[in-house]
């Protein structure tokens, strides 16, 4: 988790004006200050959060999912914004979920311990977007892949 009072950088394509159609055509960035971490700071689903306040700018509607970087490392994912304050879903507190969802093995410091995705399993269904390793290559499911759809032999895998 980032330290309280640390500075961070946020990024997004959210609103740049008062109307819903005033969105940015270019990636915007702003500097923020970490105000609270965990405790009574939770994301919109009540998960561990990182609360920030604006320094040079703020998160707006449409920025959800954008990163909060502290010292060049991702500390949060944009969750809620209101006025000068915003809440980011905390990455450190979500590492177990990230590991389960991505299949990556992450160290406690958040760095990738293993850059290889999990091996393809012929007995498993894979939703579109899933990445697996097979025959010495990494493959991404273009759409849902049934067990008989072997990477390298079926068109729904891109390698």
Instruction: Provide the residue ranges of all domains of the chain, joining segments of one domain with +.
Output: 7-93, 95-158
One of 3.40.1130, 1.10.12, 2.60.40, 2.10.10 is the CATH number of 95-158, namely 2.10.10
Q: pTM value? A: 0.63
- Cα separation, 113 vs 102, in Å, equals 13
Mind listing the pLDDT tens digit for each residue in 98-136?
888 887 777 655 555 555 678 899 999 988 888 888 888
Q: What kind of fold does domain 7-93 have according to CATH? A: Thrombin, subunit H (2.40.10)
> Is there a contact between 53 and 61 (Cβ–Cβ < 8 Å)?
no
pLDDT beneath 70, residues of the chain: 107-116
């Amino acid at each position: 988790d980032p330290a309280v009072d640390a500075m961070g950088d946020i990024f997004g394509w959210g609103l740049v004006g008062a109307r819903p159609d005033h969105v940015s055509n270019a990636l915007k960035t702003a500097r923020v200050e970490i105000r609270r971490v965990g405790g009574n700071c939770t994301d919109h689903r009540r998960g561990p959060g990182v609360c920030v306040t604006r320094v040079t700018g703020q998160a707006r509607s449409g920025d959800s999912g954008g990163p909060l970087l502290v010292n060049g490392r991702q500390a949060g994912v944009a969750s809620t914004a209101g006025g000068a304050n915003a809440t980011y879903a905390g990455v450190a507190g979500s590492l177990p979920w990230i590991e389960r969802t991505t299949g990556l093995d992450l160290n406690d410091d958040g760095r990738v311990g293993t850059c290889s995705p999990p091996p393809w399993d012929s007995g498993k269904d894979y939703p579109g977007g899933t990445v697996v390793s097979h025959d010495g290559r990494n493959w991404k499911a273009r759409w849902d892949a049934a067990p008989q759809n072997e990477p390298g032999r079926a068109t729904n895998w891109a390698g």
